[in-house]
């Protein structure tokens, strides 16, 4: 089953690491904050601050064809959840994909028990 959250791109900046973009996302209620590192070649000129995206996640493999009804699929990847913390009423998930780091903060427990997660970002048109 695919889960997805509507997020808005808040900030895009070049990482100190060559070829990497650091992007921050926030949901409209301000309850979910996601930030991560992305290969510049995949997202260059495809995403701007203020754009809406669907953050799709599943423990099952994600079929890119299923994403097309949500908008323009930008990137699909498998991540390892290497740390999950509950602190001060907030859940924090730390994820990695071959060295690219992602951090998801939420007031609700979004991801139950999982070590690996398939994620995708789809630009809403």
Confidence at residue 113, expressed as pLDDT on a 0 to 100 scale: 79
Confidence at residue 39, expressed as pLDDT on a 0 to 100 scale: 92
Confidence at residue 2, expressed as pLDDT on a 0 to 100 scale: 85
Show the domains of the chain with their CATH numbers: 3-123 (2.40.50.140)
Q: How far apart are CA 88 and CA 84, in angstroms?
A: 13
Average pLDDT over the chain, rounded to an integer: 94
Dihedral sign for Cα 36, 39, 42, 47, please.
Answer: positive
Dig out the tokens for 35 from the structure.
């930030």
What ranges in the chain are assigned the alpha helix state H? 40-43, 64-67
Residue 25 is classified by DSSP as E
Position 42 confidence tier, pLDDT thresholds 50, 70, 90 = confident
Confidence at residue 105, expressed as pLDDT on a 0 to 100 scale: 97
- Check pLDDT > 90 for residue 86: yes
What are the phi and psi torsion angles at 67 (to 5°)? -80, -20
Confidence at residue 108, expressed as pLDDT on a 0 to 100 scale: 92
Average of pLDDT values for 32-61?
A: 93
Residue range 94-110, pLDDT digits in tens: 999 999 999 999 999 99
């Amino acid at each position: 089953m695919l889960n997805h959250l509507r997020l808005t791109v808040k900030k895009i900046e070049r990482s100190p690491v060559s070829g990497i973009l650091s992007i921050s996302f926030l949901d409209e209620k301000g309850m979910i904050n996601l930030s991560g590192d992305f290969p510049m070649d995949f997202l260059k000129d495809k995403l701007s601050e203020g754009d809406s995206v669907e953050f799709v996640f599943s423990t099952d493999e994600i079929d890119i064809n299923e994403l097309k009804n949500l908008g323009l699929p930008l990137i699909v990847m498998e991540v390892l959840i290497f740390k999950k913390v509950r602190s001060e009423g907030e859940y924090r998930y730390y994820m990695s994909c071959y060295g690219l780091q992602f951090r998801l903060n939420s007031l609700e427990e979004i991801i139950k028990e999982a070590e690996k997660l398939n994620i995708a970002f789809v630009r809403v048109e």
